[in-house]
Amino acid sequence: MFCRRWGQILALSLVLAAGPALAAPLKIASFQADITPPLGSPLCDGLVEPAKKVVDPLSARGIVLLGAGEPIVLCALDWVGVGNAGYDAWREQLARAAGTSPQRVALHSLHQHDAPGCDFDAETLLAEHGLSGAMFNPVFARSAISHTATALAEAIRQPHAVTHLGLGTAKVEHVASNRRVMGPDGKVKAVRYSATKSAEVRAAPEGTIDPLVRSVSFWDGETPLVSMTYYTTHPQSYYGMGDVSYDFVGMARTMRARELPQVAHVHFNGASGNVTAGKYNDGQKPNRPALAGRLADGMRRAWQAMHKVPIQAEQIEWRSRYVLLPMSPRLNDQPALLKDLGNAKLRLGLRIRSARDLAWAHRTQAGHEIELTCLKLGDAYLLHMPGELFVEYQLAAQQMRPSSFVGMAAYGDYGPGYIGTKISYSQGGYETGPVSRVAPEVEDVLMPAMRELLR
């Protein structure tokens, strides 16, 4: 008995000692799928002209990390937004393709307005009132989800080994500006939309922004495999005429792909609910390539400023936190919303908004919680957040870990719409009015959750 026990202890010691050597190697697979809508499809949630021609092909792009527990999926779409049951459907199908759980899938939109959206809850409500397909093309949406999942499943069969992580930042000049131009009374005196005609409004200071583009790259020795970039602004230059386009952020991504054709390029939009290019864009068409060139230059300099460090699977951690976002008081009168939805005399955009409001209200009242996630890569943290988040959340996250690399992708679950800070709801402005579906107390929910994810 004594010898047997010591033999078991010795065997266990050998297993523990060999643990790091036996750890699964870190690998990565990148995938890309065409998600360009057919002509005639609604764009920007049915609020602008439907698709008349394709200027740029839209894509779903992402990565799958293998070896750090269940596979981890990050995916960015050239769509305006994916919310509620649409968000659930995307995550569930991508998870099945990757052999993981939906909780380990981060899905984000880049929020181009000349692109489709997806919300199957709102579509159900609209269909009940004879408006199926008014907000987006549901048949195409399900096809796009399936097409992307197939591309993921094919990519995961041939992953590449990862040995190093690259991190870099660079300042982007003359692109982003805060769209809430404040007056001396502390209230919003003007809104600087993506295309701002007023020279006086454009002349106002940039305001609160995050001027940095962040670069995260994965390498196999000296061979670059994937470039992920993070920049914070609404991506529109001009839109609404039926021209399907990935706009200036997609153009910048394409410029970088031409410079580094052997690398998979994935771009994420940060917390840009109150950030646009309005200070530097009056809506003239030449501004689109100009903005794209400035952003691409920042991406290039962030890549050149990269610091490469070895990375192993055991240095990767996936964190999540579920939160119940407080519902906007304006959604309490749901009979009125339902009446507006059924009112054929109302403008279509208002009826669609009522359906989206009801979809979010129903989920919130049913206790549906939003999942916030964080991918920890050594001392780098990538936060995945919902809605059209204000940039102040992103800046606050960086201050929570001032000595670490902190990136943020917003426009995850698009259901809650704009998510402002507590004080912003008393300052007026477009974002915290009829297009936000959460209450001012949302800041009291999100800030502690971010701090926990960044612990």
Q: Is residue 419 part of a domain?
A: yes
pLDDT in tens, 155-197: 999 999 999 999 999 999 999 999 999 999 999 999 999 999 9
Q: Is residue 31 part of a domain?
A: yes
Q: The whole model's pTM is what?
A: 0.94
Q: Contact, 387 vs 273, CB < 8 A? A: yes
Q: Is residue 253 part of a domain?
A: yes
Average pLDDT over the chain, rounded to an integer: 95
Find residue 28's DSSP bridge partners. 65, 160
Q: Is residue 18 part of a domain?
A: no
Strand-pair category, 177-178 with 160-161:
unpaired
pLDDT in tens, 233-275: 999 999 999 999 999 999 999 999 999 999 999 999 999 999 9
Token pair in block for residue 77: 């779409």
Residues of the domain holding 391: 25-453
Total domains present in the chain: 1
pLDDT in tens, 393-446: 999 999 999 999 999 999 999 999 999 999 999 999 999 988 999 999 999 999
Residues 248-274 as b or e (16 or more Cβ within 10 Å = b)? bbbbbbebbeeeeeebbbbbbbbbbbb
Q: Is residue 4 part of a domain?
A: no
Which SS3 state, helix, strand or coil, does residue 298 take?
helix
Q: Is residue 242 part of a domain?
A: yes
Q: Contact, 206 vs 243, CB < 8 A? A: no
Q: Is residue 15 part of a domain?
A: no
Q: Is residue 271 part of a domain?
A: yes
